[in-house]
Structure 1
């Protein structure tokens, strides 16, 4: 019998597995392809992930810019994670890895049994669901149409990206709304002489299909005299995964609703929270599996974190009401805020005063038509 069994072998699952093993917990990770390459490109603000070893960083662009209707040079540094380096860092711990597809779990007072699709049964004290939006052990995929962030990208040679935006080989373009399209451009130097160029829909219910975004990107590239070639990247992030209610499983990562509703980011949050959740599990396990599950869930979603999440969900609804022109104007206002205020909204997961202050400052600075969107009157 293991202490903690984690269903899901993405960055969130491995981050928690590493943290649990470092706490001395006997840890098992189950995934249908536990060592399959992670295909997504993960970016994060440098101040969200202090202390990462150099091999985990693929690229640290010299500048980060954003465009609403005009250019904003951002003081915060933006990083691109090296997926192979991240995996190597997370997996150098004594974790038992089981290849298999989790089908369900049975729970009792003294622990749980995880059942695999091939009918194997694995006993554990605590079960963690790190299966993403599939939530295989904590309620299943969210029902109905959800608000989603979707994107289609191509990895281009740096010289091609330079023709789209000068300086692209060493500049992260966090977003570019200047042409009035209902999606924005995102350019990210990958550190190997290539640049990821994505056409991104910030938030839509349901998500804008990848084919529509791909057509917009190809049109944009053709206008610059470029061929639509290179490795493709598809992004689909559910922005409003329900927060966990009571249960016998500890959800983690996307399954726990850790996606920022207004930005779509979650990996940095999972990396930061993993040691705290592991500490909660280790500290309460002697009192029994049920106590450990309660402690981990309380650590994940404190009262402060739930309050901030509610404010962020309000922000998501406001963004979905805005036209492309209004979004460009809104982000001009946002990126004109002091760096500390921006950081409070994007990264202050339990910072109620900072999040509320950022939203209030935006509202006061906004013209009447943007205020109406923020207030939900239009």
Structure 2
């Protein structure tokens, strides 16, 4: 075969389908059937899907999209910040089906890759079952924890952790018909809890009396434990007199936010989480898969047309397309910004996001979707700095000392 894809999640299906559409001979190795239902929800700004013509893959869509950055206790602090842009939730089955239909003809081996080795012009993959498969190029799309992709060790990797519940409640936990991107109000927390790593509520009305509520930590190393997130979610609901009457689904998420870029010289290519494509500022990735998958597949299809190119040369062409210098520099800027935010206490973090979302919509949207060219991204970051109050500027430039921030102490330790 031309390409062997490792993994069976969104990244693997995306790149396999795009290559298949370009006439590339593709096969895959996945530990579970690739049509098994995906357990987690995937949200996206509707304009991201509009840009690629895939708005029909949304199961839910909200125009009433807001955040809260106060700490409760007064009318002003409880005011919502309207984002003025639609947000959507993927129909996971439809998204999966979309990629599987475009990957029609791809053979998926239900197995686990144990060893990946360069074998001259090709690469061989030895599986747990004893099977060995060979291809001109191997693409690892099996996630951020893959052992087959080399990357530098730059210290502890910060994870975005979340615990959520899809269910029914004694009364609506948020306003009907609303999507809440971030609710940083902390009036439900004790003084001790307010000195601990901040978390926020991510929530949406799914209709028919069903809501999804999720307590989320932006980023921390190690990640905030699920039991802490669950307790905080319960406290948040209890303060507002809300009880969970039926749990339809529980969600547990933990994924890396500041994973170093892979070694771009290695003869195995990566895509998705394995390629550090999770946005360091937002934690989102599906939009990037949909935008960048076609270009990567096209570059690989053109390179594969040259029969003299072996695994190393093909992977090099893929890495160049996936991580050109422009995107590497943007990634480094986002990593720097995340490092600063990880040191912020509750008050600074709320101030930061209130300031950030006061930027013009096209600027904060472009920042969160990684669609701003490098010069524009730098200009937006400078504008954000100019709008920030003095204490926030100090934290953005110098970081926050360990004496000021328990978050910094935990992540640094």
| TM-score normalised by structure 2 residue count | 0.86
Is structure 2 residue 394 aligned with structure 1 residue 372? yes
2:184 counterpart residue number: 177
Residues 17-32 of structure 1 mapped to structure 2, 5 A cutoff? 17-32=16-31
SS in 2 for 1:134: coil
Alignment equivalent of 1:86, drawn from 86, 90, 95? 95
Mapped pair 1:110 → 2:132 = no
* Equivalent residue, structure 2, for 1:331: 353
Paired with 2:222 and 2:140, the residues of 1 have a C-alpha distance of 25
Within the candidate set 117, 132, 148, 2:143 is matched to: 132
In structure 2, the gaps of 5 or more residues are 71-78, 188-193, 401-413
- Which of the numbers 326, 331, 334 marks the counterpart of 1:304? 326
Identify the residue that residue 77 of structure 1 maps to in structure 2. 86
Q: Distance in 2 between matches of 1:205 and 1:243?
A: 18
Instruction: Tell me the secondary structure at the aligned position of residue 272 of structure 1.
Output: helix
1:244 aligns with 2:262: yes
Q: Secondary structure at the match of 1:65?
A: strand
Q: Any residues of structure 2 matched to 1:1-378 within 5 Å, and which?
A: 2-33=1-32, 34-50=34-50, 51-53=52-54, 56-69=57-70, 70-92=79-101, 93-139=104-150, 145-157=156-168, 160=170, 162=172, 164-167=173-176, 170-179=177-186, 182-190=198-206, 193-228=209-244, 229-230=246-247, 231-245=249-263, 246-287=265-306, 288-289=309-310, 290-349=312-371, 351-378=373-400
Q: CA deviation at 1:63?
A: 1.5
String of CA shifts for 1:223-254, please: whole Å, max 9, x gaps: 33333441211110111112011101111001
Check the 8 A contact 2:267/2:313 in 1, yes or no: no
Shift of 1:137: 1.7
How much has 1:352 moved relative to structure 2?
A: 0.6
By how many angstroms is 1:312 displaced? Answer: 0.3
Deviates more, 1:276-285 or 1:289-298: 289-298
Q: Kindly tell me: are residues 91 and 203 of structure 1, through their superposed partners in 2, closer, same or farther at Cα, counting changes over 3 Å?
A: same
Instruction: Tell me the alpha carbon deviations over residues 131-169 of structure 1, each in whole angstroms, 9 at most, x when there is no partner.
Output: 111123213897863111111111123x6562x3223xx
Deviation at 1:311, TM superposition (A): 0.6
Within 2, Cα distance between the matches of 1:294 and 1:356?
A: 28
* Inter-partner Cα distance in structure 2 for 1:176 and 1:41: 19
Is the contact between residue 57 and residue 94 of structure 2 (CA under 8 Å) also seen in structure 1? Answer: yes
Matches of 1:140 and 1:309, distance apart in 2: 15
Please state how far the C-alpha of 1:349 moved relative to its aligned partner.
4.5
Query: 1:54 and 1:196, CA in 2 relative to 1: closer, same or farther beyond 3 A?
Result: same
Q: How much has 1:261 moved relative to structure 2?
A: 1.0
Measured against aligned partners, the alpha-carbon deviations of 1:302-352 in whole angstroms (never above 9, x if no partner) come to: 100001001100110111111111111111101110011112211235611
Say if 1:142 and 1:220 are closer, same or farther in 2 by CA, change over 3 A.
Answer: farther
State the SS of the aligned residue for 2:62. coil
Give yes or no for contact 1:133–1:141 (8 Å, CA) kept in 2: no
Q: Distance in 2 between matches of 1:358 and 1:102?
A: 43
RMSD: 1.9
